[in-house]
Chain A
Amino acid sequence: MAPMLEAWANVIVSGLIIGGIYAVVAVGLNLQYGLMRILNVAHGEFLMVGAYLTFWGTTLIGTSPHLLMPAVFVVLAVTGFALHAVLFRPLARVAPNPEVFEARGLIVSFGLMFIVQNAALLAWDADLRGGQGSLEAVRLGTLVVNGDKLLACAIALAVGGAMILWLRLTLVGKAVRALMQSPVGATLVGIDVRVLHPLVFGVGLGLAGLAGALISTFYTISPSIGQPYTVTALIVITLGGFGSVSGSLIGGVLLGVIEAVGVELTSPSLKMLLSYLVFVAVLIARPNGLFAR
């Protein structure tokens, strides 16, 4: 391969890999918003908690981070059930209409964001931890890829695929989709909102924790890593369309490639500027996502 082409192939591949991880960062938030109109801006904070659980688990117990991932998912999913019961169910009960619920839900998630982030700062201080990785680099033809990132991307895509299958093939998944399409109609045929809302909120938090666990295998972590990932998730969701899981997968990969190529063409200091530019442009021009018909 010509060196020029090879350099670009490297850029695209690293963009695809980080994009796969972005996808799983976004899926949980997208499910929550798509089903319940809760835009949980504390999403990144729960990702950060997942990263810390994985870090402490591997440091204290000494197991591999990948074995801990199911446990991290479960811990955060249970947290999600509890939060839904304590906060969002009462909120939905007193809100006069869905628009007011949406606004108040957003404010409550901002409150959660402050609480979780600062509790983490109190508990674990602002130091950077972990991030050394455990796998060796992988050769794909002439390309060299970070092994930890590649494995994380594979797990992320597998989880994303499993989510799509769950929504398409299982009865619970179909009920969730029915509720997204028509809350009134779905309730009329006997789909129980009181079961599915906490369930999906929990799954959303669990996926955030899982994404954090994946990220902790190759990046250093600190209590402030969450917020940028919330923004990433928001951008991915805007690209892929609110409520669409497959849209999130494509949107995540797309954002990964856009960032990688954009940074290569300009400079690393422009990464955030680029992301926000994409975000604002898509929201203004195609608020229902790039793939909306």
Chain B
Amino acid sequence: MMRAYAPVAVAGVAAALLPGLGSPYVLSLTLTCLMYVALATSWSMFSGATGYISFGTAAFFGLGAYVCAWTLDWLPWPVVILGGAALAAAFAAGTGGMILHLRGTYFAVLTFGLAELVRHAMTYGEKQYAGTVGRMLTEVPSDLVVYYTVLALAVAAVAIAVAVRRSRFGLALAGIGADEQRAETLGVPTRRIKIAGFTLAAAVAGGIGAAMAVRWTYIEPLAVFNPFIGLQTVLIAMIGGAGSIAGPVVAAILFSLIAEYLRLQFPYAYMIALGLLLILSMLYLPNGLAGLWRRAGRVNR
């Protein structure tokens, strides 16, 4: 039991010591890595296990970010983060009841549409009631506070994924992924389990959104509800291997590092490389990086 948590703890401690050693640049790079570790891990926990591919991460992330923009001035920081997670979770629980009866491509397309709907609704609502679309964040917590918050969320996301995988709840999620009707017949309350898993994943994304919002200082719907956040999360999880826990973590770190070097200098080439990588991994590495080392393990034995 403890063996599964040990690597998480070691990596967490190492990342926690980083601010004393690394430069601000290294710290900000690690922050991006941690953000995608949390997003991809929580995504895989639900979508990887059940096969319900969600492109809606951007909606949860953006809602979290807006909670931060609304409450940062008058609520303590931990409450802001919890508020972001809570609003995203509430939204996921509410919509989950309406959309989780749809399977496959229908569900995938619907989550994408829902995320875009939320973005447009937020743009319209803010224009109507606040007069402007964007919001300035003036009093932001220090970089160190943000770093430790995101680190805590990333460690929590991985720990949740490990804990869920070993629980009855995780088995139920995997059972839904393997054959939903059979799971239902065997007495799994599939509807409730799906909503719970969807909501849990959304809570992590909402918390991350609230924490990362202060990195922007200027919050606007196009930035925080950017559909690319949802896409990138899916891509990282799929390239890493959505059925595993270590796969998405490794992929998130690799991805953030590659993105850091390519995106600013060659934005178009970066996106083309991303597309190629995605296609190649689907063709030759359908179980992701995790499939690679699983295969290597088999050869060694």
Contacts and interface: CB of A to CB of B under 8 A. Distances in A.
Kindly state the interface size class of chain B when it binds its partner. 35 or more
B9 interface: no
A272 B227 CA distance: 15
A229 interface: no
B104 A111 contact: no
B292 interface: no
A114 B124 contact: no
Given A90-B283, A108-B278, A287-B102, A39 B272 contact: no
A234 B121 CA distance: 20
A284 B99 contact: yes
A97 to B, nearest CB: 11
A284 B110 contact: yes
Interface in B94-142: 98-99, 102-106, 108-110, 113-114, 116-117, 120-121, 123-124, 127
Contacts of B268: 118-119, 121-122
Interface in A238-293: 238, 269-270, 272-273, 276-277, 279-280, 283-284, 287
Interface string B204-231: 0000000000000000000000000001
B272 A37 contact: no
A94 B278 CA distance: 16
B239 to A, nearest CB: 9
Contact of A280 (B104, B113, B269, B278): B113
A99 interface: yes
Nearest to A266: B124
A99 B104 contact: yes
A287 B277 CA distance: 32
B231 A234 contact: no
Looking at A94, A112, A277, A283, the one whose CB has the most chain B CB atoms below 10 A away is: A283
A90 B67 CA distance: 45
A111 B286 contact: no
Looking at A114, A279, A287, the one whose CB has the most chain B CB atoms below 10 A away is: A114
B276 A273 contact: no
B271 A39 contact: no
Contacts of B124: 269-270, 273
Contacts of B104: 99, 102-103
Looking at B53, B113, B267, the one whose CB has the most chain A CB atoms below 10 A away is: B113
Contacts of B116: 231, 272, 276
Given A111-B275, A111-B276, A283 B51 contact: no
Given A104-B286, A107-B238, A283-B102, A112 B275 contact: yes
Contacts of A108: 278-279, 282-283
B203 interface: no
B282 A107 contact: yes
B42 to A, nearest CB: 19
Interface residues of A, number: 41
Contacts of B275: 110-115, 118
B47 to A, nearest CB: 10
Looking at B120, B124, B276, the one whose CB has the most chain A CB atoms below 10 A away is: B120
Contacts of B201: none
B85 to A, nearest CB: 24
Looking at A95, A103, A287, the one whose CB has the most chain B CB atoms below 10 A away is: A103
B161 to A, nearest CB: 20
A122 B235 CA distance: 23
B234 interface: yes
A100 to B, nearest CB: 8
A99 B279 contact: no
Contacts of B108: 39, 103, 106
A91 interface: yes
A121 B269 CA distance: 10
A87 interface: yes
Interface in B248-294: 267-269, 271-272, 274-279, 282-283, 286
B253 to A, nearest CB: 20
B270 to A, nearest CB: 8
A115 B282 contact: no
Given A107-B234, A270-B124, A276-B120, A122 B269 contact: yes
Given A94-B283, A111-B278, 8 more contacts: A106-B105, A110-B231, A112-B275, A114-B272, A114-B275, A234-B113, A273-B124, A276-B116
Interface of B: 51, 53, 98-99, 102-106, 108-110, 113-114, 116-117, 120-121, 123-124, 127, 231, 234-235, 238, 267-269, 271-272, 274-279, 282-283, 286
5 contacts: A104-B286, A106-B53, A114-B272, A270-B124, A273-B120
Q: What 10 A-B pairs have minimum CB-CB distances, sorted nearest first?
A: A114-B275, A111-B278, A115-B275, A273-B120, A111-B279, A111-B275, A276-B117, A118-B271, A118-B268, A122-B268
